[in-house]
Amino acid sequence: MKDPQSDMYRKMMEIGGVKGGYHRDQIFAEEKRSDYLWCLHCQRTYRRGEYRDLDGIQMCPYSDCDGNTVMDGFDWEAIRDHHKKYPQVPERGKVYRD
């Protein structure tokens, strides 16, 4: 049984601290629709490219959050597809949940 989550985590560890740049962009070839990401853990948003370095892992920039920017970040526009009332530019520090 192959777990895609752990695969991605391993990949994240491999590039952790080795290369510069935004790990998310090195792991995902995603269509960049928005300059913002939404965090699955704290349900807040931050600018794409922002992170808090924790032993080479690029974490969600909010200091009280244990999410990371690779697996727990979602493109804001993709979130907005399902939440039409959300603004194009999200409010910093605001929790967006239903």
Closer residue to Zn ion (CB): 31 or 64: 64
Give a three-class secondary structure readout of the chain: CCCHHHHHHHHHHHHCCCCCCCHHHHHCCCCCCCCEEEECCCCCEEECCCCEEECCEEECCCCCCCCECCCCEEEHHHHHHHCCCCCCCCCCCCCCCC
Q: Of 6-14, 23-31, 35-43, 80-88, which segment contacts Zn ion by CB under 5 A?
A: 35-43
- Smallest gap, in angstroms, from Cβ of residue 39 to Zn ion? 3
60 scored as a contact of Zn ion (CB under 5 A):
yes
Among 42, 57, 70, 79, binds Zn ion (CB under 5 A): 42
39 scored as a contact of Zn ion (CB under 5 A):
yes
Q: Which residues bind Zn ion (CB under 5 A)?
A: 39, 41-42, 60, 62, 65, 67
